[in-house]
Amino acid sequence: MRLLLRVLMLLLLLFLLNLLQLLCLLLARLRVLLIMLLLLVTMRSTNLLVSPQVIPNHAFHGLFRLHTLILDNLAALKSVEALAFHDLNSLHTIQMHGCRQLTYLDPFAFFDDFKADS
């Protein structure tokens, strides 16, 4: 009887651990979906869903956990303003292929403010 009880307890413990792992995976997916929604809202508010001529300052404000930013094939893009990529402290990669009209990237585009020590 004790052995059966221990086996049942072990099975219950394994079930709970698997359930916890499943919940962690679901929360991670939910987090990714929320980040994508935030990015979509940010892009819509800064009008980046259509090919912009200018990426304005603070265009990605609040996306401080973004690791990769892909801005490919923005055919009309001509310039990137100062502080445009403000708040992207976790950014590792930015990709801007096919932006043929891009002629100006402000030296302060990746800064959070205009101080030289940023």
The range of the structural domain enclosing residue 11 comes to 1-45
Over residues 61-85, mean pLDDT: 86
Are 71 and 113 in a shared domain? yes
Residues 46-81: b if buried by 16+ CB within 10 A, e if exposed: bebeeebebbebbbbbebeebeebebeebeebebbb
Are 64 and 111 in a shared domain? yes
Lowest-pLDDT range of 13-17, 62-66, 76-80: 62-66
Q: Which residue has the higher pLDDT, 118 or 10?
A: 10
**pLDDT for residue 68 is more than 60:** yes
Are 20 and 35 in a shared domain? yes
How far is residue 20's CA from residue 22's CA, in Å, rounded to a whole number?
A: 5
5-61 pLDDT tens trace: 888 999 999 999 999 999 989 988 888 888 777 776 666 555 555 567 898 888 888
How big is the CA angle at 44 (ends 38 and 46), to the nearest 5 degrees?
105
Are 34 and 65 in a shared domain? no
Number of domains in the chain: 2
Are 62 and 83 in a shared domain? yes
Are 37 and 56 in a shared domain? no
Are 35 and 57 in a shared domain? no
